[in-house]
Structure 1
Amino acid sequence: MGLKGSRLPDARVLLLGLDGSGKSTLLYKLKYDERFQTAPTVGFNVEMIDAKQNRKKITVTVWDVGGQKKMREHWKSFYQDTAGLLFVVDCSDNGRLEEAKHELEHTLKNEHLQGLPVVVLANKQDVGGALTATEITERFNLRKTCNNRDWFVQPCSATSGAGLEDGFRRMVHLVKTTNDANIKETVKYLRAKSMKHGKK
């Protein structure tokens, strides 16, 4: 007999990245395991994907927001109530890596995303000359940029589907553990506070 309250709350995850990085292709491949011919996203796509975490079902709503320059100024409208960030990088487009790095850094500075987990999807690994996950970690200086949050770089290919499920599973895992960690941190803080008062 299951308790009504035992189901994990649904999580909302943002899927961001520059235009042409493969966000929509990646989302539809993950959801339907099919390759869709996608046009640049003007606005956003929303898909619900069921996942399992510790034998409990969790429904993740993925918001795929357009990455063109004029759309990026609207990204912040989607930050509130987000549980995690999937950031897609086209690892074969050397000319735009600096732009992608800048956008990720700018995004992570927003107060609504403080401490939230990030999974960088190092996309287009099937393209010759694509940077590896390790090279992306170095180029994006992620150890420094993400030092106050859980993060992971997942090599993947939106067209073949390789690595997509692993990246998504990692996000689901981090979203859950972040919530648990927040509760533990709060308890630790309150205990420390009450001990201080007790010593006075």
Structure 2
Amino acid sequence: MGVAFSSLWNSLFGQKELKICILGLDNAGKTTLMYKMTLGAVVATAPTIGSNTETFEYKNLKFVLWDVGGQTSLRTSWAQYLTATNALIFVVDSNDRERVSLARAELHRIAADDNLARAPVLVWANKQDVRGAMTPSELSEALNLSAFRDRTWQIFGCSALTGKGLTAGLDWLATTLSNRT
């Protein structure tokens, strides 16, 4: 009886799980960012083969984070993770000037997926702690974010290693998603 009541209570009044896909090129810092958000610490990571999933609560929202590998061979599978996605976090290595055009192409390709039609896009300009990193403004221009006229998006600078900038991005995401649910 207690289990049945608990299940009913949670289905009626429990927190809705919000699926967040974390995408970006390999070595952008997606996994490090995810664990900094969920564990509050930097953990040793290896290139993600497939995906990692973590759940955490933030501002009374329950985020289910899907960190998907960004290697060339894995990018073609990104679309299979997008079903029922509530938001996209796209992570960019702000210091990787050689691949910013590739990051732009991949972001625009995946943002065009029908499963993301209503999903807000948070772009994290990661590795802001590295000397010579592009600013969020420079990256916004390089990624052609102004082309996203019909969707909600925002770019924030951050450092997965120090945690700087994560709160601003998460606050924006939480506010944006709260206004939609």
Structure 1 unaligned blocks of 5 or more: 180-200
Q: What is the TM-score when the length of structure 1 is the normalising length?
A: 0.82
Is 1:9 aligned to residue 16 of structure 2?
yes
Change (3 A) 1:4 1:99: closer
Partner in structure 1 of residue 80 of structure 2: 77
Partner in structure 1 of residue 28 of structure 2: 21
State the alpha-carbon separation in 1 of the partners of residues 23 and 78 from structure 2.
8
State the alpha-carbon separation in 1 of the partners of residues 10 and 117 from structure 2.
32
Partner in structure 2 of residue 118 of structure 1: 121
Is 1:134 aligned to residue 141 of structure 2?
no
Give the aligned length.
173
Change (3 A) 1:5 1:21: same
Deviation at 1:20, TM superposition (A): 0.2
Is 1:157 aligned to residue 159 of structure 2?
yes
Larger radius of gyration between Structure 1 and Structure 2: 1
Q: Cα deviations across residues 18-41 of structure 1 (Å, max 9, x unaligned)? A: 000000011111111111111000
RMSD: 1.6
Q: Provide the identity percentage.
A: 36
State the alpha-carbon separation in 2 of the partners of residues 132 and 7 from structure 1.
39
Q: What is the TM-score when the length of structure 2 is the normalising length?
A: 0.90
- Secondary structure of the residue aligned to 2:105 is helix
Structure 2 unaligned blocks of 5 or more: 1-8
Deviation at 1:173, TM superposition (A): 1.8
- Secondary structure of the residue aligned to 1:165 is helix
State the alpha-carbon separation in 2 of the partners of residues 68 and 156 from structure 1.
22
State the alpha-carbon separation in 2 of the partners of residues 77 and 167 from structure 1.
25
Q: Cα deviations across residues 125-168 of structure 1 (Å, max 9, x unaligned)? A: 00011111111111111111x11111100100001110112212
Partner in structure 2 of residue 44 of structure 1: 51
- Secondary structure of the residue aligned to 2:164 is coil
- Secondary structure of the residue aligned to 1:13 is strand
- Secondary structure of the residue aligned to 1:48 is strand
**Preserved CA contact (<8 Å) 1:25 1:38:** yes
State the alpha-carbon separation in 2 of the partners of residues 148 and 39 from structure 1.
36
User: Quick one: which amino acid aligns to residue 5 of structure 1?
Assistant: L
Q: Cα deviations across residues 151-189 of structure 1 (Å, max 9, x unaligned)? A: 10010000111011221222222222234xxxxxxxxxx
Is 1:33 aligned to residue 35 of structure 2?
no
State the alpha-carbon separation in 1 of the partners of residues 15 and 55 from structure 2.
15
- Secondary structure of the residue aligned to 2:109 is helix
